[in-house]
Amino acid sequence: MQKMIFVVDDSSTNLSVAKDALKEQYRVMTMPSAAKMFALIEKVKPDLILLDIEMPEMDGFEALSRLKESRADIPVVFLTSLLDAEVEVKGFQLGVIDFITKPFSAPVLINRIKTHLEIDELIRERTAQLQNLERHHIRLRGSAGEPGRRDGWPCRPYVQIHTDIAGRPDEARHIRR
């Protein structure tokens, strides 16, 4: 099944160029505003969001901040013509995973998305493996008659760090006891 990409930009030209570049590899949904994105994200969960920084009504920073409150598991890449250190720092602090400068090149766009989706999939797989190992270890410890620690096994902090890096607070809460 093809991955779903949301492209959010107030420029119809950028939406068109991005959709044309990505439509062979991904399912692409374009929207002209963050408000439209929030309305749609209730019904459809994208695998990645390309989000313009400079938009009327709600800019990309505000949209990202709101998105991370409810859907921290969705990777977001900023599309921007504003690239300086201050913008990058602010974006990374809010949780963006990358920046693509406009006007963008189709091959660069495709390869960055492919790379980020592969990284996201690896993080999800490794997180699931670590959680399975933790459950297995707890079962083994319980069957051996060891008094179990209520706070988990010694490697639990590594699972916590891994899920925090992945930006998945729901998974991080899942492993706490």
Q: How far apart are CA 10 and CA 34, in angstroms?
A: 9
Instruction: Looking at the structure, give the CATH architecture of the domain made up of residues 4-119.
Output: 3-Layer(aba) Sandwich (3.40)
**CA dihedral defined by 150, 134, 76, 93, rounded to 10 degrees?**
50
Give the residue extent of every domain in the chain. 4-119, 121-175
Residues of the chain with pLDDT under 50: 145-146, 148-149, 151-153, 155-163, 171-177
pTM: 0.74
